[in-house]
Structures are given as structure tokens and as C-alpha cells.
Amino acid sequence: MARAKIALIGAGNIGGTLAHLAAVKELGDVVMFDIADGLPQGKALDIAESGPSAGFDAAMSGTSDYADIAGADVCIVTAGVARKPGMSRDDLLGINLKVMKSVGEGIAKHAPDAFVICITNPLDAMVWALREFSGLPHEKVCGMAGVLDSARFRHFLAEEFQVSMRDVTAFVLGGHGDTMVPLVRYSTVAGIPLPDMVKMGWTTQEKLDAIVQRTRDGGAEIVGLLKTGSAFYAPATSAIEMAEAYLKDQKRVLPCAAYVDGAYGLNGFYVGVPTVIGAGGVEKVIEISMSKEEQAMFDSSVSAVKGLVEACKGIDNSLT
Ligand code: APR
């Protein structure tokens, strides 16, 4: 069987890391697209030259021509600008909306059958806009945020409990921003819900609250340390997990920014929810029951995303 083709739209920090991970994991041949002269070609060649030592078979190429993404099975979108210290994800909206228009048109023309994973921020609004501009089926366009937010939450919890992160599960709902909703009740250590871990004396409610807040601020913490850009290793690894679920029809249960139509009282809206990802793309949105307090947090996250979608409509009136 021919290898899968993975198109990476944006060959910056996340794009380069995605290419490297896709190659090392032999997920398929990689085409990197970017408007920066020489950047995708240079990174592709550098990664290809690591192949003999790393021992992978995957063709790597770089391009500034959308025609070269033709027939891609997966497109992962990181094109746009990243945050600098002092900026929120929402500050990127105006610039990145324009980028989503050109990317959406490029994918629609050359790779309309691809599973598209958007990473560009502000994530929930950008994935919505990318879907609108591309016209692809909703189940084939989603956004990477929940896997990353859960991974951050799991990392902090594993450190706190001094256990393997493999045995920590975490559940995060809502938009990828300050209003994201880490759901403590559905997060566990080997099946033991976090509130029980507090009762068992493994941690305190205060420490748990601090971890939840650190998870919400996880992106900003990295921006503050790096100073010149935002996180890229963990975001790329998270998107590769989603791409692999699609390419291998794994039916993984992963949180992502998905089109929710009917569940959670939403009518046709992109926001972070648990989903099943397999060969059909986002095959299912899983609706969980929430307490009043959790529902209120989710609702406020949804209205923050709605505000950003309205702002997009105000900037580009082709988005109705
Ligand atoms: N088409 C293609 N590529 C573009 C376009 C465009 N219209 N506009 C910008 N780019 C490219 C830039 O040339 C750059 O190489 O997108 C790349 C972005 O890379 P970085 O600046 O390194 O940003 P990165 O850290 O990869 O993050 C990308 O993901 O997490 C989000 O907030 C982050 O929105 C940002 C995106």
C-alpha cells in the first residue's frame, strides 16, 4: 500500500516539529508548505538527512505551491503568527483570520478529501473559519487543543502525585483559552477520580486548584519563558496523536475542537469536547453530564468563543 501523505501548512516551530515526529513515527510522506522563502525546503531537507541515522523511510519535501499538497490524507495547519509575551491568543485573530482564508482555499482546491487539524490560534474561532473558507465536511475539520491541555494537566498531576503520567487521565472541555474547563471529577489516577485523591490525602484541594489554574495558563507560562514565541513540542505531539488516530482508524477518545450540532445544547458550533477519532474523521461527539457549576464554566467558555466568531464575521463579511 502506498504511504499516506501528510501536508503541513506552516513550517515554523510547530510545523518543523510535526514533520520530524511524522517522519520518526513513519506516519507517511511529508510535504511542508510555507510562504517563507526556503524555510519549508530547508527544514524538509534537514529532516530527510536525519533519516539514515534515525532509520525511517519517509519522503520529505518543502514547497510554496499549494499544488504540491494534492491528494494529502491529512493536513495540519499551523500557518499564521504565534504569541509573544503580553499577548493573548485572541490578539492574533485579525492576522490569522486572513491566513485561514488562503489556507482554506488552498486545501479546498488541492486536498479536499484530507482530514484537517487546525492548530493556529485563537484555535476555536480559527478552526471554525477554516471550515467555512474550505467548505470541507465538518467531521473532517477539527482543532487541536484538548489533547494538549489534557497533556499539560496530566503532566502537572503526575508530578504532584509522583506517579507515571501513563496512569493519569485528564479531561478538559471548552475553548482553548483562559476559560477552558479542566474537569476534575472526570480526571483520574488509574481510575481513582481526583476528588477521591484529595480525600485519600494524596493532595489538597488548594494544590489541585492551583494545578487547574496552571493548566489554564499553560500556554502563557511557556510564552513567558521562551519570550520569542509559543510552545511547539507539546502542541506538535498532540496533533500527531490525532493524525495517527485518523490514519490508523484507532477510534481514539480524544478531546478536540469539534463541530457540535445538537449535543451540549449547541447548534452548529466549534468548541472543545470529547470525541472519537477514526477513519471517518471526528466520528462522534461524546456528551457527558455536567454539574451546575461545570455547566456554568462550559457556558462561559462557549460564550467567549462565540464572541471571537462574531469578531471574525465583523472582519470578513464573506463569513455569515
Ligand atoms: N501561508 C502559509 N504559511 C504562513 C502564512 C500563510 N499565509 N502566514 C504565515 N505563515 C507561516 C510563517 O511563515 C511561519 O513559518 O506560518 C509559520 C508559523 O510558524 P511560527 O511563527 O514558528 O509559529 P508556531 O510556533 O509554529 O505556531 C503557529 O500555532 O499554536 C499556534 O499560536 C500559534 O497561531 C500560532 C500557530
**Ligand 1 touching residue 77 (CB < 6 A):** no
**Cα-to-centroid distance, 148 and ligand 1 (Å):** 18
Domain 146-313 fold:
L-2-Hydroxyisocaproate Dehydrogenase; Chain A, domain 2 (3.90.110)
Ligand 1 atom with the shortest distance to the CA of 103: 1
**Ligand 1 touching residue 239 (CB < 6 A):** no
pTM: 0.97
pLDDT averaged over the chain? 95
Q: How many Cβ atoms from other residues are within 10 Å of residue 2's Cβ?
A: 8
Q: What ipTM score was computed for the predicted complex, to two decimals?
A: 0.99
**Ligand 1 touching residue 95 (CB < 6 A):** no
**pLDDT tens readout for residues 238-257:** 999 999 999 999 999 999 99
The residue contributing the CA closest to ligand 1 atom 18 is 12
**Ranges for all domains in the chain classified under CATH 3.90.110.10:** 146-313
The residue contributing the CA closest to ligand 1 atom 19 is 12
Binning pLDDT at 50, 70 and 90, where does residue 173 land?
A: very high
Backbone angles phi, psi at 16, to 5 degrees: -65, -40
> Per CATH, the architecture of 5-144 is what?
3-Layer(aba) Sandwich (3.40)
Higher pLDDT, residue 85 or 81: 81
Residue 49 to residue 62: CA distance in whole angstroms: 14
Active site members:
176
Chain centroid to CA 63: 23
Task: Indicate the top mutation candidate among 35, 105, 118 to test ligand 1's pocket, ranked by most ligand atoms within 8 A of CB.
Answer: 35
pLDDT (0 to 100) of residue 84: 78
The residue contributing the CA closest to ligand 1 atom 36 is 120
Q: What is the dihedral of CA 117, 120, 126, 128, to 10 degrees?
A: 10
The residue contributing the CA closest to ligand 1 atom 9 is 80
Task: Indicate the top mutation candidate among 21, 69, 78 to test ligand 1's pocket, ranked by most ligand atoms within 8 A of CB.
Answer: 78
Binning pLDDT at 50, 70 and 90, where does residue 78 land?
A: very high
**Ligand 1 touching residue 20 (CB < 6 A):** no
**Ligand 1 touching residue 40 (CB < 6 A):** no
**Ranges for all domains in the chain classified under CATH 3.40.50.720:** 5-144
- DSSP annotation of 82 reads -
Q: Can you state the angle between helices 39-48 and 13-24, rounded to 10 degrees?
A: 30
Contacts of 205 (CB under 8 A, 6+ apart): 198
